[in-house]
Amino acid sequence: MARPAFLNEFTYRNFAESGKEAEFDRLFDDAAQRVKAQFGKKYPMYIGGRETFAAETLIEKSPIDGSVIGYFQKGTREHAKQAIQAAAGALQSWSSTGYRERASIFRNAAAIFSKNKFELAAILSYENGKSRYESVGEVDEAIDFMRYYADELEANKGFLRRTHLKQSTAKVSASFQGAPSMKSEKVTIRMMPFGVFGVIAPFNFPVSISTGMSTGAMITGNTVVFKPSSSDSMTMLTGLKIYEYMKQAGVPQGVFNYLSGPGSEIGDELVVNPGVAGIVFTGSRAVGTGMITKAYERGLQKTFIVEMGGKNPVIVSKGADLDEAASGIASAAFGFCGQKCSACSRVYVHESIKEQFVSKLIEKVRSFKIGNPIRKDVYMGPLISANAFRTYSDAVEKAKSTGRILYGGNKVNTGMDGYYAEPTIIEVNHESELVHTELFVPILTVEGFRGFDDAIRMANDVEYGLTAGLYSKKRKEVSEFLERIEAGTVYVNRDTSATTGAIVGLHTFVGWKGSSVNGKGSGSKFYLQQFMKEQSMSITK
Ligand code: NAP
C-alpha cells in the first residue's frame, strides 16, 4: 500500500489560507510578550536528567537591543565528560527500546513543539533576530523533521532485514569455495546505533537543525550530548526548550543531555573523547574540517556527519522572467540578513539584461523594512554580533576599493543597541575574494556573463556546493544547468526564493564539495542511515 503524502506543519500558510492572518499575529505577539516577561532568569544544564550548575555563567543577550535573555552555565570539559558518561550509561536500554516506541516518542515531541510553536518562535526571534515568519517557519521545520524521521524509521521497520537463502544461492555451485552452506542458513541484516553522539549546532537555525540532528541520532538508538551555540552568537534558550520538550515527550533520562558552553571546550571534548562514537555537526567549514582533522590525527575513528557553509550562485539568463528572478533572488540573498547557509550570495546575469535586472532587484530590496524583527512589518532584523558586522563593513570597504557598490553598504541607525545593516549589492570581478569567501552577511555580488558556459563555470568556481538557482525559459539551458551545476540543492525558476526554503518531504537539503562531508541530505530518505552501522548475522543449523 502506498504511503500517504507527508503532511507539513505549514503554520503561516494554514492561517493565511483560512483568512486568519490576524489570529496568527495575535498569537505571535502574545507569545513575544510572555517570553519577554521571563527575560533575565538563570538556567541550568542537564546531565543524566539532573540540573547541573557551573562555576561561571554566560550572559545571553538579544542581538535586537542587547537586553539580557538569560544567564546560562559556562560548562567545562569536565561537564562534557560527565555528560558523555551519562549518555553511555543510558545507551543499552535506549538502543534496545523497540523502534515503534522510539518513533512514537518523537511524534509526541512533535506534538509538544506544535502546541508551543509560537512561544518557541518568539524566543528564536529574540535570540537570533529572525522575523516572525522565518521563526515560525523554522519551528515548523523542526516538527516536520521529527515526524518525517519517525515515518522513515517505521517504513524501514527499524532497518532490520532477513535475507533469503534461495535467492542468494540460485546459481552458485555448492563445491565453490565460499558458497553458502547447503544446510539451513538464516541471515539477518540489521542497522545498529553507533553509541554516544555529540550534537554540535549553529546559531542560525538553532531550533530546526538542532532538533533534526538530535532526532536523527536518538530515533536510531544512539544517545546524545547536545551543545547549542554559546560563544559569539548564543542560542542557548531555544536549545534548553528543545531539551525540555524532548523530556516531556518521554525521552528517558541520560538519553539526551544538554550542555551550554564554548565550542572550543565542550565541543572539543566531544571530538577528542574516545567515549563519543559520532559527531553530527552543522556550522562553518573551518570548524567542521578542523574537528575531523583533530580526531583523525589522534587516531580516533569516529563517524562524522558534517554540514558546512555555502557560497550559493544564481544564474539569470537572457529571456528569463526578470520580475520573478529579482523577487526570488532578493529574498534568497537578504532574508534573515543573508545569515543562512543556503542564502544566495552570487548572481551571474546575462550582460544584455544586467542593467534592467539590477534596477528591478534594487527596487525590490528597497522595499525591505529593517528594524526590530519582533514587529510584524520588519523584513530584516539585526546581524547576530559585532563580529558579523565587522565582516560586513570590511567587505563593503573592499568592494569600494576594488569594485562598485550598486546598493546599500551602510549601517542602519534604528535607535536600538544592535548591529543593523543595509542589504548590499556589489559589483566586483570574479577574482575578488568577496566572490569566493562565505561572508554570511547581507552582501550579494553581481557579475555579467556572455556565454551560458561561462556562467556555469563561474558558478562552480568556489570550494562550496550547497544550493544553486537558475532563471531561464530555455529548456536546453535548464538541462545543461541541471547536468553540470556542482551543488546538492538546486532550484530552477523558483519565485518564492532562488536558493533557500527547502521543505521537508519535498526537497532534500544537501551539500556537495566543501559544504558537506557525506553528501547525504537532511529531510531525506538517506539521512537516518548515517547514524547507524550495519551488521550481517548468519546462523547455520
Ligand atoms: P560555527 O562558528 O562553526 O559554530 C558552529 C558550532 O560549532 C557552535 O556550536 C560552536 O560553538 C561550535 N564550535 C566552535 N568551535 C568548535 C571547536 N573547536 N570544536 C567543536 N565545536 C566547536 O558556525 P556558526 O557561525 O554557528 O554558523 C554559521 C555557519 O554554519 C555558516 O558557515 C553556515 O553556512 C553553516 N551552516 C550550514 C548549514 C548546512 O546545512 N550546510 C546550515 C546552517 C549553517 P560555540 O558557538 O559555543 O563556540
Instruction: Please check whether residue 274 lies inside any domain of the structure.
Output: yes
Q: What CATH number is given to the structural domain containing 224?
A: 3.40.605.10
Distance 404 CA to ligand 1 centre (A): 31
Beta-sheet strands, E only, within 323-401: 344-350
Ligand 1 atom nearest the C-alpha of 440 is 31
459 and 525 within one domain: no
CA distances from 472 to 290, 450, 492 (A): 39, 14, 8
Of 506, 540, 500, 502, nearest to 525 by C-alpha is 506
Is the distance from the beta carbon of residue 203 to the nearest atom of ligand 1 less than 6 Å?
Answer: yes
Shared domain check, 317 and 304: no
Residue of the CA atom closest to atom 40 of ligand 1? 307
- Both 293 and 320 in one domain: the answer is no
Give me the number of domains the chain comprises.
Answer: 2
Nearest-angstrom CA–CA distance, 451 and 350: 8
Q: Using the atom order of ligand 1, give the atom closest to the CA of residue 515.
A: 41
256 lies in some domain: yes
CB atoms < 10 A from the CB of 268, how many? 17
Burial class of 539 by CB neighbour count within 10 A (0 to 12, 13 to 18, 19+): exposed
Is 89 inside any structural domain? yes
Query: Which three three-digit cell numbers place residue 372?
Result: 526590530
Q: Is 58 in the pocket of ligand 1 (CB under 6 A)?
A: no
Whether 370 and 422 have beta carbons less than 8 Å apart is answered as yes
Give a three-class secondary structure readout of 408-434: CCCECCCCCCCECECCEEEECCCCCHH
Question: Does the C-beta of 266 come closer than 6 Å to ligand 1?
Answer: no
Q: How far apart are CA 520 and CA 303, in angstroms?
A: 14
Same domain, 416 and 464: yes
Per the domain annotation, does 139 fall within a domain?
A: yes
Q: Are residues 217 and 268 in the same domain?
A: yes
Q: Is the CB of 498 under 6 A from ligand 1?
A: no
Predicted TM-score of the model (pTM): 0.96
Whether 330 is in a domain gets the answer yes
In this structure, is residue 31 part of a structural domain? no
Ligand 1 atom 9: residue of nearest CA: 229
Closest C-alpha to ligand 1, atom 30: 283
How far, CA to CA in Å, does 80 sit from each of 122, 270, 347?
29, 7, 43
**Which residues are designated catalytic?**
307, 341
Same-domain check for residues 130 and 214 = yes
Q: Is the CB of 205 under 6 A from ligand 1?
A: yes
- In this prediction, residue 179 carries a pLDDT of 61
Task: Look at residue 186 in the predicted model and tell me its pLDDT.
Answer: 86
Among the residues of 335-366, which ranges form H helices? 354-366
Same domain, 390 and 288: no
Please check whether residues 203 and 335 belong to one and the same domain: no
Question: Do 298 and 333 have their domain in common?
Answer: no
Q: Specify burial of residue 171 (Cβ count, 10 A radius: 0-12, 13-18, 19+).
A: exposed
pLDDT at 158: 95
199 Cβ closer than 6 Å to some ligand 1 atom = no
CA dihedral 273, 279, 285, 286 (to 10 degrees): -10
- How far, in Å, CA of 346 to CA of 332, rounded? 11
Q: What is the pLDDT of residue 42?
A: 98
Instruction: Flag whether 130 is in a domain.
Output: yes
Which three three-digit cell numbers place residue 174? 555448492
Closest ligand 1 atom to 522 CA? 40
Question: If DSSP states are collapsed to H, E and C, what string results for 102-159?
Answer: HHHHHHHHHHHHHHCHHHHHHHHHHHHCCCHHHHHHHHHHHHHHHHHHHHHHHHCHHH
Residue 189 domain-assigned (yes or no): no
Please list the pLDDT of the chain residue by residue as tens digits (541 residues).
Answer: 677 789 999 999 999 999 999 999 999 999 999 999 999 999 999 999 999 999 999 999 999 999 999 999 999 999 999 999 999 999 999 999 999 999 999 999 999 999 999 999 999 999 999 999 999 999 999 999 999 999 999 999 999 888 776 545 545 555 656 665 566 788 899 999 999 999 999 999 999 999 999 999 999 999 999 999 999 899 999 999 999 999 999 999 999 999 999 999 999 999 999 999 999 999 999 999 999 999 999 999 999 999 999 999 999 999 999 999 999 999 999 999 999 999 999 999 999 999 999 999 999 999 999 999 999 999 999 999 999 999 999 999 999 999 999 999 999 999 999 999 999 999 999 999 999 999 999 999 999 999 999 999 999 999 999 999 999 999 999 999 999 999 999 999 999 999 999 999 999 999 999 999 999 999 999 999 999 999 999 998 7
Give the position, in ligand 1's atom list, of the atom nearest the Cα of 384. 25
Pocket test for ligand 1, best of 203, 508, 510 (most atoms within 8 A of CB): 203
User: Which atom of ligand 1 is least distant from the CA of 509?
Assistant: 40
Give me ligand 1 centre to Cα 283, in Å: 3
Residues 147 and 64 both lie in one domain:
yes
Mark whether 256 and 342 lie in a shared domain.
no
**Beta strand extents in 145-301 (DSSP E only):** 160-163, 185-193, 196-200, 223-227, 256-258, 278-282
**Closest residue (by CA) to atom 20 of ligand 1?**
267
Q: What is the whole-number distance in angstroms between the Cα of residue 390 and the centre of ligand 1?
A: 18
Residues 115 and 203 in one domain: yes
Q: Show the domain range for 245.
A: 42-159+195-308+519-532
Residue 7, all three cell numbers: 503532511
Nearest CA to ligand 1 atom 13: 263
Q: Looking at residue 357, which CATH number applies to its domain?
A: 3.40.309.10
